[in-house]
Amino acid sequence: MTEGPHADQPVVTAGAPASVADAVVVLLHGRGATAQGVVNLAEPLYRHGVTFVAPEAARSRWFPYSAFAPVERNEPHVSSALSAVDGVLDDVREWGIPLTDVVLFGFSQGACLASEYAARNPREYGGVAALSGGLLGEEVGDYDGSLAGTPVLLGVGDSDPEVPVARVRETAAVFCALGGSVTERAYEDVGHEVTDDEFAVVGSWLDDILSDSD
């Protein structure tokens, strides 16, 4: 159950009915966006047998200040946002979908939330895609545990005015240390946006999950 500022927020679902899902993508939207907006953004990932689940942040933001401000300054929003992801994953497990068949996909603030959730809750996921975002806080924290080879994609444009490439690299180092199979890409002359290449990488993860479920 989600507590704090993001409690009782709607959750949008799309794609395959949960009862027949072979894979789930948890979509985390950016600041100023909506759950339906990120569902629409993820259209290149649509495949037979994949359910998309998108929780919505209160006031269209997961936290009010910069992702790279001290985490305490963004509380209680950060804890509530992490709790919202927990709630969605609890629902997915009740559908009978193991987390090894679940991909966390976040853009911008959603990428920061996906990163922070996976780092604080390391286990084997179907994948973690943090696009135009990184771990929260003024400095990257310490994390323990193992991602057990989870594929991780960290993508950012080298012209992104919101996210320093250096933070993405720091985030990649953390995920490598946690045992993730990390792909880090800084796209030349790209701003704050999702690229076709990023969709292709995440799509390949879903294809692998679906292939294994046959």
* Residue range 44-82, pLDDT digits in tens: 999 999 999 999 999 999 999 999 999 999 999 999 999
Separation of alpha carbons 200 and 86, rounded Å: 27
What is the pTM (predicted TM-score) of this model?
0.96
What pLDDT does 13 receive?
A: 97
Report the side by side order of strands in the sheet with 11-15.
11-15, 50-55, 23-28, 102-107, 127-131, 151-157, 181-187
- The mean per-residue pLDDT over the stretch 28-55 comes to 97
